[in-house]
Amino acid sequence: MVDVFIGLGSNVGDREGNLRKAIELLNEKMKLVKVSSMYETEPMYLKNQAWFVNCVAKLETDLTPKELLVYLEDIERKLGRQKSVRYGPRSIDLDILFYGNEVVEESDLKIPHPRIHERRFVLVPFVEIEPDHVHPIYGKSAATLLANLNSNEHVRKAGTISLRRK
């Protein structure tokens, strides 16, 4: 089993409900260890859309990185995600942030997620649950990455998720 961190986001429909349902589906095939609070966050790249609700989940899995990617894409389809405009509105977005301490560089899969260090909407919930996790490429803790972030992106706590664990 390996620890994985998944970033979740939604800005279409029942945003908080979409996150809860995605975590329930993740927990069907993996073991949920912990999940951050939910945070309402302004869109980063395409500003003319609804704000997102984001969180980060830590899970244990025996899926390979590729199998995990396929499973996340399946969950996105089940929850109504339709690929359209890059960074555009979506019912659910699931990103592999970290897969243990592995570094994966493939055309369709990059781990750690290549933009973690520039995204407050990822780092704030991540630091809530795992502040001392060291980025395997940058060699800095999540808390240090957040402290060094030069971004004025708005992130505010929006609630909590309490789910049963296996």
User: CA 99, CA 4: separation in Å to the nearest integer?
Assistant: 5
**Residue 6 near residue 56, CB atoms below 8 Å:** yes
**Residue 27 near residue 163, CB atoms below 8 Å:** yes
* Whole-number pLDDT of residue 166: 46
Residues that are catalytic: 81, 90, 93, 95
> 152: pLDDT confidence band, cut at 50, 70 and 90?
confident
* Whole-number pLDDT of residue 50: 86
User: CA 138, CA 159: separation in Å to the nearest integer?
Assistant: 31
> 165: pLDDT confidence band, cut at 50, 70 and 90?
very low
What ranges do the domains of the chain cover?
2-159
User: CA 30, CA 50: separation in Å to the nearest integer?
Assistant: 30
Assigned CATH topology for domain 2-159: Alpha-Beta Plaits (3.30.70)
Q: Residues 54-99: pLDDT tens digits? A: 999 999 999 999 999 999 999 999 988 766 766 667 889 999 999 9
* Whole-number pLDDT of residue 98: 97
